[in-house]
Structure 1
């Protein structure tokens, strides 16, 4: 499952309509400006020099105060060539004042595959605290392979509809074969439709693009807020360029030492933790479709409901589409990202159990970023990055079968499906370039790592692990529900992060907030 912020998921429809979909980096605009990079930004000599010395031409786009530009980056940093250069989409909203400008604040919402420009224009550029927006130029860049930056493509919309319906809990060898065939077809589609970019969307390469943007914007050091997968991107940057680290906030952290199988199993347990919290909250409400009896009984009822959908999908109001087990599971998991979605989930589950799957299907579509029958590229960029960054979790069905007991133990409700879905990188056409390893960023300025105790997508222990690994890591804990912590209602968390961003003073290590 992609790892995204609750804010991104809740605002997915808004984000799909913002950013480069309307008035983005390649649109015509009323005026343009050129920013000159200053000569003292440690630009490398040799073949990379021209990239670090380029000028961005800014154009109005995406709403009041937003500008867009295009950054040129090499496809392959080891062998840069103008013939294969990438065009990466960038957007910003300049500091509004009052107060001295602190430079650029780059934001990334995670994924991998989430549009940073959509996040900036739909949320961060208008929703971040006013004092932060007053003193920073708010900046976003869609990472390579994502959204408006040379997007990875894999399937037609109709083919993707079929893929999302694929049975992720096969009951017999024939169903296993169909699931394997679906993963193989997906991978082959990515290879056919995406070309050379498919081998160059790793997190290391995206982090190098961030340093290129830092220099072109004229900043000595990178200030950054990364959520979910964006924490891995930020930590990778810090490890590559520790001397260029400014104020880094890594919210909803990943542990870079975990293998793909461990990541998927940990995340499975995280979703079970979130479901337990949901079930406990649900049991005390009149509209709870899972009844009482505790979380274990609620999980049994949910699993029984999924089993019924596996045998007989229910109708929806969406053009003849039906809600089967796979889409229903996705809809439930989507609501686990943010406790503000729990009321919507209770209503959607109740309706689906009565035979109307429309609302639960809408939750799944929100997760998949499907709108009006069309998909954003999130679900294509996501495996493209993940399958480069780590060797596959499993190399075939036999390895999945061996792992099933551990996944079922991690989550009786979701374990089996999440284990089988971990096959996606087994058939990937490009070999991995990364491996699990600790990120130290030795000598970097203090880096703030934020973890939420009942985070479904990035379990809290990952934040603790990353804070320990980083040479200058400071851990800030949010004792709460949902995915990520910044801007989710905790004054304690927000004050600590804002103080760090505005004054450069991190909170004491191991500070805890509610």
Structure 2
């Protein structure tokens, strides 16, 4: 999952991690290479319209794929696609996936300028994976349902809180089933990988050249496993281990949120903190506020500031100093009994306005990520949730609590209405093409040890490390990383084993 907003579509990562067009069905079982030819269907390209970012010079289109690639009769899905055509001598198409949340169309529209070196020779192409953006988005999480989720206390250790929280979480899952029941059994990475092969064929490419970030690294690995002979030059940035369970994924994200929060506290104390004279006192003040809000939410007009909304504002600590200034002030006001400023900050994070939630708010990626992770990954049982939460709160007393914006996949997947399919977490590439996996050594959301596991699962994966903390080292990681990525994607130069780039 990625914190997103219409003004800045890719902000610091807080959960993961946050993924076309045809007539011939492509069938494969988990871990089995697909060799059936894919029939290309043309994409009708036209100027992009209706996106919340400038789209001058970009083209958009739709491509129809089977809902079920094994059985074409149940229906189809129209996949939204976008293209930024090559500015120089074109050598082919580069498909890009930006990770959790999907929404590849909007993200490429907002960020294509960053990839000018690649665009000189490639048409940059992205798409909204099924269940996201404008590709049959998951119809769950109505505004009223989200309001109720934030109105109940987070956490499941207290029996009364557990009953209320699981009731509202189950209501969210039921909405997903009611609104997207046909899609849920076909929302995993295996399905999206087959869609991506249809896209490759529609673009007229014999092999898929691909850049995948974060959860997009898993998609690239699954694609290469299902279609080993059609894997071209592939780079997987902020590599993730597809075999991690839902609980293991959320543990990583809890650690990430806790570290960002600790950075906020350290900054606050260093400059003179309204919350306390040292980090211990400031943290006690924040934790005390959350516990107080559980007992008695602060009234704000006809609404209330509850503990889950307060925790949501703390999740935003990864956004840096400018956000910290607002966070400190509004936390201090809430501690004094004035709840509106902090609730307004939570609403801004969630994109809540006029009783509706913007799909690019922090909760906006939850439906898509639920569809993917709950379909693909090992997931917990409801009876185990108190024990799991106890483990998480040992990592972070605040972010280890199950809430709508912290570790929410755990209770949702425990109550998900369709069974797990391991295909979307099965990576074992046996084709001839090397695959480059990049890991930032200080990226707690995508630890190097997990990226190394992905590289090993690829059999011929080549791991490159970056000394910084970027979630996605390219292109911001400097000339060394740029040389690795562009050297391989543009010229086929495979980096040497053990390549490491210093932090920029």
Structure 1 residues 215 and 359: CA distance shift in structure 2, 3 A: farther
2:459 matched to 1:471? yes
User: What SS does the corresponding residue of 2:401 show, helix, strand or coil?
Assistant: helix
Q: Distance in 1 between matches of 2:304 and 2:199?
A: 45
Structure 1 residues 362 and 218: CA distance shift in structure 2, 3 A: farther
2:72 matched to 1:72? no
Pairwise CA distance, 1:139: 0.8
User: What SS does the corresponding residue of 2:467 show, helix, strand or coil?
Assistant: strand
Q: Distance in 2 between matches of 1:159 and 1:276?
A: 32
Q: CA-to-partner distance for each residue in 1:19-53, whole Å, 9 max, x for gaps?
A: xxxxxxxxxxxxxxxxx99xxxx9979xx999723
Structure 2 residue aligned with 1:406? 391
Q: Distance in 1 between matches of 2:471 and 2:251?
A: 17
Q: Distance in 2 between matches of 1:385 and 1:43?
A: 21
Structure 1 residues 461 and 304: CA distance shift in structure 2, 3 A: farther
Maintained 8 Å contact 1:105/1:136:
yes
Q: CA-to-partner distance for each residue in 1:407-440, whole Å, 9 max, x for gaps?
A: 1222233223346761111211111112785622
User: What SS does the corresponding residue of 1:331 show, helix, strand or coil?
Assistant: helix
Unaligned residue ranges in structure 2 (runs of 5+): 11-20, 28-34, 50-54
2:333 matched to 1:354? yes
Pairwise CA distance, 1:358: 6.0
Q: Distance in 2 between matches of 1:10 and 1:185?
A: 24
Structure 1 residues 247 and 54: CA distance shift in structure 2, 3 A: same
Structure 2 residue aligned with 1:53? 40
1:108 to 92, 97, 120: 97
Maintained 8 Å contact 2:243/2:377:
no
Q: Distance in 2 between matches of 1:433 and 1:44?
A: 17
Structure 1 residues 108 and 363: CA distance shift in structure 2, 3 A: farther
2:136 matched to 1:145? no
User: What SS does the corresponding residue of 2:165 show, helix, strand or coil?
Assistant: helix
User: What SS does the corresponding residue of 2:60 show, helix, strand or coil?
Assistant: strand
2:322 matched to 1:324? no
2:317 matched to 1:335? yes
Pairwise CA distance, 1:117: 0.3
Q: CA-to-partner distance for each residue in 1:451-502, whole Å, 9 max, x for gaps?
A: 2233243333322221232222222223333533223454433343233322
2:86 to 82, 95, 118: 95
TM-score, with structure 2 as normaliser: 0.83
Structure 1 residues 453 and 312: CA distance shift in structure 2, 3 A: farther
User: What SS does the corresponding residue of 2:310 show, helix, strand or coil?
Assistant: helix
Maintained 8 Å contact 2:264/2:324:
no
Q: Distance in 2 between matches of 1:487 and 1:354?
A: 40
Q: CA-to-partner distance for each residue in 1:132-174, whole Å, 9 max, x for gaps?
A: 1221111111111111011110132232222244322246312
Q: CA-to-partner distance for each residue in 1:93-124, whole Å, 9 max, x for gaps?
A: 11111xx312111121211x33000101112x
Map 1:40-439 → 2, pairs under 5 A: 52-62=39-49, 63-81=55-73, 84-97=75-88, 100-111=89-100, 113-123=101-111, 125=112, 127-170=113-156, 172-286=158-272, 288-289=273-274, 291=276, 293=278, 299-314=283-298, 321-336=303-318, 338=319, 341-355=320-334, 361=343, 364-365=346-347, 368=350, 370=352, 373-376=356-359, 378-392=365-379, 394-396=380-382, 398-417=383-402, 418=406, 422-434=410-422, 439=427
Structure 2 residue aligned with 1:511? 500
Q: CA-to-partner distance for each residue in 1:154-211, whole Å, 9 max, x for gaps?
A: 1322322222443222463121101110111111111111231122111100011001
Q: CA-to-partner distance for each residue in 1:50-96, whole Å, 9 max, x for gaps?
A: 97231111111142111111111111111112x61111111111111
Maintained 8 Å contact 1:452/1:481:
yes
Q: Distance in 2 between matches of 1:142 and 1:406?
A: 35
TM-score, with structure 1 as normaliser: 0.82
Structure 1 residues 314 and 228: CA distance shift in structure 2, 3 A: farther
Q: Distance in 1 between matches of 2:81 and 2:441?
A: 33
Maintained 8 Å contact 1:13/1:366:
no
Q: Distance in 2 between matches of 1:449 and 1:483?
A: 13
Structure 1 residues 461 and 334: CA distance shift in structure 2, 3 A: farther
Unaligned residue ranges in structure 1 (runs of 5+): 17-35
Q: Distance in 1 between matches of 2:281 and 2:460?
A: 44
Maintained 8 Å contact 2:222/2:424:
no
